[in-house]
């Protein structure tokens, strides 16, 4: 594959859009899909959490991506595999044991998506200076979050619209509703697969290489020693234990909320939910949420660039976590007014978009710098996803036990550790960060 020299604006948004799609679909959209097909909440939250494990363990194979081909090669290949995988998920929905087959296929997609994240972040860090990393971090976060809106908003709305077109309307028989649901989600999954295949073709032309392989592995022993070296270097970083706790706790409350929110929005009012349809959920996410996401992410990038990460990190954490109050209020008052529901979603999504870029940049500039920055960033982001995955896997059981009202109150309490650890977090590097090349030379 060849590429031309490209301005970062021609590939940063599209690469991080492609990064966000599989993660959000597996983590959030699939929850609504399986709910509509009659799978229990316990099975949904448990399995859709554990298939996210590759994003936690991706550090195990991240060093191998520095030894073979280019980072661009793995970005393009993983986008292609992920696209085909979603197409197969759509086809599997018609089969008798669709849930098992879908979970297996989604696990493969998760491995491909995690590999894509490693290589894409490697391209970003290799091709951009530290100043440009800060300059484009808002665009990176914005388009990752736009992917979340396209998936949880646009695709969910499309599924709801297709459901109606195929006869899945209130009062329809269970057989008709089931058939309409399968048909609707099959089209959605195949459309998603087509988008990712097209993105892989685009990036085969526009994406810079991100550097060639450092060297080829000569033996399994050498490869294993290299992995141990990478891990050893990571755990010898200054303040690393504190940083690991910080990375886990920053998004801890979000981990509980992420899978329950769509179930809460869809659940009937008689059991504490808002009783929204897929089409309504898609509209709220795709309008109110989309604007808030983009605005929050881009503003945060300029905010950090102007004042510096050290001065802004605690305020970013506050903006990220405080909007969980919105869902607590929704659960207590169960408003029917669309503006109130949309306003609460806007507040939460603005906070997520604004606060998330702070954690991303912290991992890039305080945790990753050094000899193995791509692998170490992959390790850090894997730890971050573990902090989301573990609470997500038990969130359904806690929600069932407490009910939606007190579940969201519990989530507010879970934000307290994030505030405390962020307020006292130490900084190892000041911007711009000096890093080392694989040869040991210090570079800007």
Q: How confident is the model at residue 2 (pLDDT cuts 50, 70, 90)?
A: very low
Question: Which residues are registered as beta bridge partners of 435?
Answer: 443
Q: How confident is the model at residue 442 (pLDDT cuts 50, 70, 90)?
A: very low
What secondary structure does DSSP assign to 249-299, as a single string?
Answer: HHTHHHHHHHHHHHHHHHS-GGGTS----HHHHHHHIIIIIHHHHHHHHHH
What per-residue confidence (pLDDT) applies to 158? 92
In the prediction, which pLDDT does 212 show?
58
User: Residue 378 corresponds to which tokens in the numbers above?
Assistant: 């992959």
| % of the chain beyond a pLDDT of 90 | 28
Per residue in 277-302, pLDDT (tens digit) is: 888 888 887 777 777 877 888 888 88
Lowest-pLDDT range of 89-103, 350-364, 409-423: 350-364
CA 70 to chain centre: 24
Q: Does residue 208 or residue 217 have the better pLDDT?
A: 208
The conformation of residue 60, written as its DSSP 8-state character, comes to: G
The predicted pLDDT at position 214 comes to 52
Is 154 a residue whose pLDDT tops 50? yes
Model pLDDT, residue 21: 93
Half-sphere exposure of residue 63: CA atoms within 13 angstroms, side-chain side? 20
- For the segment 205-234, the average pLDDT, to the nearest whole number, is 70
Q: How confident is the model over 314-334, as a mean pLDDT? A: 89
Least confident of 105-114, 160-169, 433-442: 433-442
Give CA torsion, residues 202, 293, 385, 313, to 10 deg: 120
- Residue 441's pLDDT band (boundaries 50, 70, 90)? very low
CA distances in angstroms from 81 to 23, 87, 106, 187, listed in the order given: 14, 10, 11, 18
Mean of all residue pLDDT scores within the chain? 84
Mean pLDDT of 243-265: 90
Confidence of residue 314 (pLDDT cuts 50, 70, 90): very high
How confident is residue 37, by pLDDT bands cut at 50, 70 and 90? confident
pLDDT for 305:
84
Q: What is the pLDDT of residue 72?
A: 87
Q: Which of 209-218, 338-347, 376-385 has the lowest mean pLDDT?
A: 209-218
- What's the confidence (pLDDT) of residue 431? 58
Kindly report the pTM of this predicted structure. 0.73
- The whole-number pLDDT of residue 375 equals 76
Q: What is the DSSP letter of 70?
A: B
Backbone phi and psi for residue 91, each to the nearest 5 degrees, phi listed first: -70, -35
Determine the pLDDT at residue 103: 95
Span 164-200, pLDDT tens digits: 888 877 777 878 888 889 999 999 999 999 999 999 9
Q: Reply yes or no on whether the pLDDT at 268 is more than 90.
A: no
């Amino acid at each position: 594959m060849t590429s031309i020299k490209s301005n970062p604006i021609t590939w940063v948004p599209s690469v991080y859009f492609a990064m966000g799609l599989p993660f959000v679909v597996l983590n959030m959209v699939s929850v609504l899909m399986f709910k509509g097909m009659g799978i229990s909440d316990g099975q949904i939250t448990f399995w859709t959490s554990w298939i996210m494990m590759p994003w936690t363990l991706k550090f195990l194979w991240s060093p191998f991506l520095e030894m073979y081909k280019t980072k661009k090669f793995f970005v393009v290949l993983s986008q292609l595999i992920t696209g085909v995988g979603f197409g197969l998920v759509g086809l599997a929905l018609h089969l008798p044991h669709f849930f098992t087959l879908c979970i297996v296929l989604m696990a493969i997609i998760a491995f491909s998506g995690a590999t894509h994240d490693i290589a894409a972040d490697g391209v970003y860090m290799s091709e951009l200076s530290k100043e440009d990393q800060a300059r484009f971090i808002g665009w990176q976060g914005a388009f990752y979050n736009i992917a979340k809106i396209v998936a949880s908003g646009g695709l969910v709305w499309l599924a709801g619209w297709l459901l109606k077109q195929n006869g899945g309307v209130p009062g329809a028989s269970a057989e008709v509703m089931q058939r309409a649901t399968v048909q609707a989600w099959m089209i959605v999954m195949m459309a998603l697969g087509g988008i990712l295949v097209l993105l892989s073709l685009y990036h085969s032309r526009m994406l810079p290489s991100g550097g060639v392989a450092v060297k080829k592995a000569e033996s399994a022993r050498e490869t294993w020693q290299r992995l141990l070296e990478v891990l050893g270097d990571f755990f010898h970083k200054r303040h690393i234990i504190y940083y690991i706790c910080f990375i886990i706790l920053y998004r801890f409350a979000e981990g509980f909320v992420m899978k329950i929110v769509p179930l809460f929005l869809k659940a009937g009012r008689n059991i504490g939910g808002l009783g929204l349809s897929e089409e309504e959920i898609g509209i709220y996410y795709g309008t109110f949420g989309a604007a808030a996401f983009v605005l929050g992410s881009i503003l945060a990038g300029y905010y950090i660039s102007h004042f510096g990460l050290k001065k802004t990190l605690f305020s970013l954490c506050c903006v990220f976590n405080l909007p969980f109050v919105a869902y607590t209020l929704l659960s207590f008052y169960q408003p029917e007014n669309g503006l109130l529901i949309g306003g609460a979603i806007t507040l939460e999504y603005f906070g997520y978009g604004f606060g998330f870029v702070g954690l991303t940049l912290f991992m890039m500039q305080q945790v990753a710098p050094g000899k193995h920055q791509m692998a170490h960033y992959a390790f850090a982001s894997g730890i971050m996803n573990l902090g989301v995955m573990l609470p997500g896997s038990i969130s359904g059981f806690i929600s069932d036990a407490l009910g939606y009202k007190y579940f969201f109150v519990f989530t507010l309490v879970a934000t307290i550790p994030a505030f405390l650890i962020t307020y006292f977090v130490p900084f190892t590097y000041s911007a711009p960060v000096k890093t080392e090349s694989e040869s040991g030379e210090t570079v800007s």
